[in-house]
Structure 1
Amino acid sequence: MLAAIWAQDENGLIGKEDVMPWHLPNDLQFFKNTTENNTIVMGRTTFEGMNKRALPNRQTIILTTDKHYQADNVIVMHCIAEVLNYEKNYDGIVFITGGSKVYDSFLPYCDIIYRTVIHESFEGDTYIPEVNWDDWTMIDISEGTLDEKNNYSHSFETYKRKQN
């Protein structure tokens, strides 16, 4: 199964200078709990924005057109077809985790979307691509907890692709 997971502000912003423009531990924990023991796919720029650090308890695939790109503890792939072929032969969930171009390439193939909406507006330079929400049904929503570490109102939403 192929799923996309992201956090965005009210305007669809997902990044600023290759990193997230907010700090929200609840969302980081949601991401960890949702993606652990599965595979995550991200573009090279997103990976480098994480200091080239593969996340524990996940197989990480880096998607790049650079045929010579190497990094520790990851699989490097060079095209969408490679990732889709991997997903066909994988028992778990393959999560698309960014950036914007990677989401744009894979959203047509995704079965599930996990979206955290932060009910604020931030400054940044990267937005989630246009999603045709008519193709999706919300199957779950929950409000995030506000506390001293999580000071932005937020909700966790799960969508399933509608069957034709």
Structure 2
Amino acid sequence: MIAMGRGIQALAVLTGLYSVPAERCRQAAALGEGFAGIEVRAMTNIGLEGFFKDGRSVELENCTAKDVASAVSECSMGVLDSQKRLYVEVRYAAAASRLASRRLTAVLKFLSAGGLPRRRLRGQIRAGQENKVEFYIFEEFPESDL
């Protein structure tokens, strides 16, 4: 509970005082056990958006795993190494969070089958424009640094 409150306060400071657009801020879906602070990471959009084939589909229509791997390679100057991760964000409209969860699982499975290491993939669903997936690169901090 303390971590959730601090996260909300940090987002308020970033968006209010420092004018960071709210659509660029994310709060983790799961909070760390025993960690009552906040963690801020820079995420870089890889410049590729995915769209699903139709309103109920879990398959992407406009990009392949090869397209995503290529964009990751260009964006991160190589492959996903021991600290770099690919963050997959699936957007959903009101009352469609269950479908968004299935879509996220399908996209992560699709990417790992396409050659991206599953242990380097992270994902979350987020309310917003339905039928859309965005991809970001970020660095995972070693536990010893926290």
- Interval containing the TM-score (normalised by the shorter chain): under 0.3
Instruction: Write 1 or 2 for the structure with the bigger share of helix.
Output: 2
- TM-score, scaled relative to structure 2: 0.25
Instruction: Write 1 or 2 for the structure with the bigger share of strand.
Output: 1
Specify which structure has the bigger relative contact order, considering alpha-carbon pairs within 8 angstroms and separated by 6 or more residues: 1
